[in-house]
């Protein structure tokens, strides 16, 4: 178990960040152990043929036997939404002793892969060469595997931060962590993270807590080293919808009546959704969705209600009848 002690000032300085390099690095676990990440199999199938095999082998060797990754490859984000290039530049500045420490920490029982065995050398030069080689391959991997899907991924991550921020505002830290993951427990000012390899206690001591939602995290993941500032990557909401195919146009009478775009929206709104989420699922722009929502709302087929900064839309009882009657035909 790892625990993080948070004082009043630390809670006041709790914030969120989206990290593209976190997603790139954590996605390597999906490539190496697909059986543990069933939700991401469609993504995995789509990228396997695009990867440079030698480069991917080096990167996947940095996923330890317990599926940990080196802390230096997932630097603490400095802004809410840094670019991949900015974060990669921070990785390139990692001192050689930190690179060596983080890689060796992945293999506490020995058995370092041959491709990274030179990390054990005492000289800095081979370590720096390995660090730069990792960064070069990680950049190519980002271009091929993550960047094409990043706009959709970012919308999911931003939706999660909006939800979590509201939980924090309404119910404080207790509600924030209550439904984040079963392995998390908040009690008496301490955040407990169960089922971890590490066994250490981290006093935040005025450094705050950085929360990083992640598409490819399967459980909460603080830094492996207790010396790092408090940060927690956690599985974000909405991942199950990310790789789902765009809903097909309904071929029934409602499509003839409303047109295919509005019919798809009406079928989608069985649950409350904001405009950005509908746009993401339908792979269109939010402005295009807004135009159709205005018409559907004016005809009484959908309702809307404000939830914080977002307006949520849902089918009205009349809309449910239209969809139900259409489905029965």
- pLDDT tens-digit readout, 213-229: 999 998 898 887 788 88
Q: Which residues of 15-39 are buried (b: 16+ CB within 10 A; e: fewer)?
A: ebbbbbbbbbbbbbbbbeeeeebeb
Residue 135 belongs to what domain range? 2-239
Through-space distance between the first and last CA atoms of the chain, rounded to whole angstroms: 56
**Residue that finishes a domain, picked among 239, 267, 285:** 239
Please state, in angstroms and rounded to a whole number, the distance separating the CA atoms of residues 190 and 203: 9
How many domains are there within the chain?
A: 2
Q: Over pLDDT 90: what percentage of the chain?
A: 44
- Report the pLDDT averaged over residues 242-252: 65
**Residue that finishes a domain, picked among 192, 211, 239:** 239
**Residue that finishes a domain, picked among 239, 257, 272:** 239
Q: Are residues 131 and 250 in the same domain?
A: no
Q: Are residues 159 and 197 in the same domain?
A: yes
User: Which is more confident, 233 or 322?
Assistant: 233
Residue 120 has what pLDDT? 65
Please state, in angstroms and rounded to a whole number, the distance separating the CA atoms of residues 248 and 237: 24
Q: Are residues 26 and 155 in the same domain?
A: yes
Please state, in angstroms and rounded to a whole number, the distance separating the CA atoms of residues 217 and 162: 18
Q: Are residues 165 and 215 in the same domain?
A: yes
Q: Are residues 263 and 129 in the same domain?
A: no
3-state SS assignment for residue 208: coil
- Report the pLDDT averaged over residues 105-123: 74
Q: Are residues 60 and 180 in the same domain?
A: yes
Q: Are residues 82 and 8 in the same domain?
A: yes
Q: Are residues 234 and 269 in the same domain?
A: no
Q: Are residues 219 and 95 in the same domain?
A: yes
Q: Are residues 192 and 72 in the same domain?
A: yes
- Report the pLDDT averaged over residues 247-257: 62
User: Which is more confident, 64 or 136?
Assistant: 136
Quick count: other Cβ atoms within 10 Å of Cβ 217? 20
Q: Are residues 47 and 185 in the same domain?
A: yes
Residue 294 has what pLDDT? 92
Quick count: other Cβ atoms within 10 Å of Cβ 12? 10
Q: Are residues 107 and 49 in the same domain?
A: yes
Residue 278 has what pLDDT? 92
Average pLDDT, the chain: 87
Confidence class of residue 147 from pLDDT cuts 50, 70 and 90? very high
Please state, in angstroms and rounded to a whole number, the distance separating the CA atoms of residues 109 and 64: 11
Residue 118 has what pLDDT? 67
């Amino acid at each position: 178990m790892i625990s993080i002690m948070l004082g009043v000032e630390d809670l006041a300085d709790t914030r969120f960040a989206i990290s593209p390099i976190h997603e790139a690095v954590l996605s390597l676990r999906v490539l190496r152990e697909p059986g543990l990440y069933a939700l991401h199999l469609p993504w995995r199938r789509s990228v396997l043929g695009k990867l440079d095999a030698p480069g991917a082998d080096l990167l996947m060797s940095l996923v330890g036997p317990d599926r940990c990754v080196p802390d230096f490859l997932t630097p603490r984000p400095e802004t809410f939404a840094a670019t991949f290039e900015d974060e990669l530049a921070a990785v390139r500045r990692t001192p050689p002793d930190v690179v060596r420490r983080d890689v060796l920490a992945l293999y506490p029982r020995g058995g370092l892969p041959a491709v990274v065995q030179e990390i054990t050398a005492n000289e800095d030069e081979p370590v720096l060469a390995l660090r730069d080689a990792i960064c070069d391959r990680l950049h190519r991997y980002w271009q091929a595997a993550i960047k094409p899907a990043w706009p959709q991924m970012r919308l999911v991550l931003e939706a999660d931060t909006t939800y979590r921020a509201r939980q924090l505002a309404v119910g404080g830290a207790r509600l924030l962590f209550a439904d984040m993951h079963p392995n998390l427990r908040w009690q008496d000012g301490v955040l407990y993270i169960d089922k971890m390899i590490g066994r250490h206690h981290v006093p935040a001591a005025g450094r705050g807590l950085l929360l990083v939602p992640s598409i490819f995290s399967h459980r909460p993941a603080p830094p492996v080293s207790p010396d790092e500032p408090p940060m927690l990557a956690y599985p974000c909401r909405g991942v199950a919808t990310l790789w789902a195919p765009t809903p097909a146009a309904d071929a029934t009478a409602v499509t003839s009546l409303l047109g295919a775009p509005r019919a798809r929206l009406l079928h989608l709104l069985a649950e409350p959704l904001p405009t950005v989420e509908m746009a993401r699922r339908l792979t269109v722009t939010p402005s295009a969705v807004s135009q159709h929502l205005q018409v559907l709302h004016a005809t009484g087929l959908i309702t809307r209600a404000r939830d914080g900064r977002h307006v949520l839309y849902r089918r009205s009882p009349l809309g449910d009848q239209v969809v139900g009657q259409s489905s029965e035909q």
